A and B are shown apart, each in its own frame.
Chain A
Amino acid sequence: MAKTLIVGEIQKGALRESTLELVTLARKLGGDVVSLLIGSGVGGLAEDLAKKGGGKVLLADDPTLANYNLDGWERAIKKAIEAEKPELILISSTPIGWDVAGALAAALDCGIASEVIKIEPDGADLVFVRRMFNAKFDARLRVSGTPRIATVQPGANEAYTGSESGSVVKLDGVGGDARTKFVEIRVAPAGGHDLTKAEIIVSGGRGLQKPENFEAVLKPLVEALGAQMGASRPVVDAGWLPHEYQVGSSGQIVSPKLYVAVGISGAIQHLVGMKNSNFIIAINKDADAPIFEVADVGIVGDLFEIVPALAAAVKSAKGG
């Protein structure tokens, strides 16, 4: 690999962890590593990225880039590509990555592998590995042409922890108008259902089939264990439970002592929210469900038979 450009991201005033994960990936591929950091008044963070393995860091710093906007980001990334002529461009699969990467690929008419977890050298070429069909299968992709873009799943690689020497170079002419106007960041009011401090969480998924079953089937186990009830995204999307029950990247990130996943297949967005639980027990009828990969203990079978049996056993153990 001759040269890789990392498109960095800033979150809450610091380098986003996923940016340092891109550093790990880029350095593993070998060759030159250059980075781009976009924002307003973020020179210090660019220095930080240079020290943390980002190599030569191009800084796109302009008041019009204070908040993410598609046009500004596309302009800055194109400038960086012109300046550095990278063969590979790495962007994190984040709400920003989703927004900008595809548009950039189309504008450059170049190939892109999105939501990649691994990039493996294969002779002179690269193989891009990613999940498909909601993590049921993996795919190996070939991407032709130069440059190529890959967006990378946050969490799929370790953040780079080495200390390196690098440099910061300011890019000119990165400011300008954007067709899309930023209005504000709105933080949804926290619901009364805080799962982040729960000791035990029992979460239900689409496998429960209908909203009434959360009351009839799941709740007895929740109550027997003295747990809090959680849910997967499809359950909340369907309106079966309010958003404050949702565990996952767009809901609550939890780490209880015990997490019981009932009828949840284990989409990546859910796993991100619960994989750091101390102990995970999964109940699913599909033995191949991805949830069993992160679970410590699995029960393969019909939840409508198993969950009541579990609830009864816990109840009688507590009563006895």
Chain B
Amino acid sequence: MKILVCLKQVPHKDARLELAPDGKWIADANIKFEINDYDNYALEEALRIKDKDPATEVVVISIGPDRVQQSLRTALGMGADRAIQVWDDGLVGADSLAIAKSLAAVAKAEKVDLVLMGLMSDDTNFALTGPMLAALFGVPHATGIVSEKNEGGQIEVERELEGGALEVVRLPTPCLLTAQTGMNEVRYASLKGIMQAKKKPLDKKSLGDLGLSAAAVAPKVKIEKLYTPPRGKGAEILSGSKDEIAQKFLGKVKELGLL
């Protein structure tokens, strides 16, 4: 089985995010990046399939400038076999569909049996790339899965619905699955793994290498403006020393008749 795991590099959870001067994106020149959390669960699931069947090949892919190589190396350190970085000037300002078209070109060329990725990314929260990629790759998909297992040659997954309900569906391969957070316990790269990762292949591809033109990936969706949402009246903020705050807190609890 050959698995393609799509990883997006996003600003680190603890990065202090500021708007870029043009007001269309965040100022991302000097912040730390990490693998999108949802994608980590997808990668872990792929590695678990490989743990059970060592003949499995896990290929990780990320679209982005050279900083994404660090995330790809991390994935290789965790156990992926090889990595592909896709970057091209034509992908600056790419929308979800452009990203999906690029990934689909690779999925087709690699003839993968399974594509795994996160349900959404922590930066844009679009939750679109997975189903788009599946449609372009011509395979069925299931989104927001919390488990997967091989069931008589098919893949049986549990999709998370609302309020704790799960939908169980079966898909033939090839197919695409997007992972919900918490679906497994994500491993860390071992020191040995990190050493080995340095020798694993990391190929860099342009749009031309994928057989795509810049026109084919021209974005249909553009961020016109990114801004701090206008705040409503918001909360009454309690101020003072921590003991003064505690007394005010106590006052509120008493007013509610809960003390």
Q: Name A's B-contacting residues (CB within 8 A).
A: 68-71, 93-95, 98-107, 109-115, 127, 131-145, 179-188, 190, 199-200, 206, 225, 233-234, 236-239, 243, 249-253, 257-258, 278-282, 287-288, 292-293, 295-301, 305-306, 309-310, 312-314, 317-318
Contacts and interface: CB of A to CB of B under 8 A. Distances in A.
A314 to B, nearest CB: 6
28 contacts: A95-B162, A99-B131, A99-B144, A102-B129, A103-B134, A112-B96, A112-B221, A131-B125, A133-B17, A133-B124, A136-B228, A137-B229, A138-B229, A139-B224, A139-B225, A182-B167, A185-B168, A187-B164, A234-B181, A250-B164, A279-B256, A293-B232, A297-B252, A298-B236, A298-B238, A309-B246, A310-B250, A317-B254
Report the interface size class on chain B: 35 or more
A317 B250 contact: yes
Nearest to B181: A237
A300 B229 CA distance: 19
B142 interface: yes
Contacts of A101: 128, 131
A281 B224 contact: no
A134 B17 CA distance: 12
Contact of A281 (B129, B168, B231, B249): B249
Given A98-B119, A180-B171, A233-B181, A140 B164 contact: no
A142 B221 contact: yes
- Chain B interface, DSSP helix/strand/loop, else mixed: mixed
Contacts of B253: 225, 258, 314
B158 interface: yes
Given A199-B258, A253-B163, A299-B249, 19 more contacts: A69-B169, A93-B127, A95-B167, A98-B127, A99-B159, A103-B131, A113-B221, A115-B127, A132-B124, A133-B26, A185-B167, A190-B164, A236-B182, A281-B249, A293-B232, A295-B235, A297-B252, A298-B237, A306-B245
A186 B158 contact: yes
A27 B109 CA distance: 45
Given A70-B140, A132-B123, A112 B128 contact: yes
A233 B171 contact: no
A30 B245 CA distance: 50
Given A95-B160, A183-B169, A298-B237, A127 B259 contact: no
Given A102-B96, A115-B125, A297-B235, A182 B169 contact: yes
Contacts of B125: 115, 131-134
B143 interface: yes
Contacts of B136: 106
A176 to B, nearest CB: 14
B166 interface: yes
A318 B259 contact: yes
Interface string B140-174: 11111000000000101011111111111111100
B220 A144 contact: yes
Nearest to B160: A250
B70 interface: no
- Most chain B CB neighbours (cut-off 10 Å) among A106, A127, A134, A199: A106
A211 B236 CA distance: 30
Given A133-B17, A141-B221, A144-B220, A98 B131 contact: yes
Contacts of B52: none
Nearest to A137: B226
B227 interface: yes
Contact of A184 (B127, B164, B168): B168
B122 interface: yes
Contacts of A132: 123-125, 226
Contacts of B229: 131, 135, 137-138
B135 A107 contact: yes
B53 interface: no
Q: Which 3 A-B pairs have the closest CB atoms?
A: A237-B182, A102-B131, A111-B220
Interface in B104-147: 119, 122-136, 140-144
A102 B130 contact: yes
A297 to B, nearest CB: 5
B222 interface: yes
A243 B220 CA distance: 39
A111 B232 contact: no
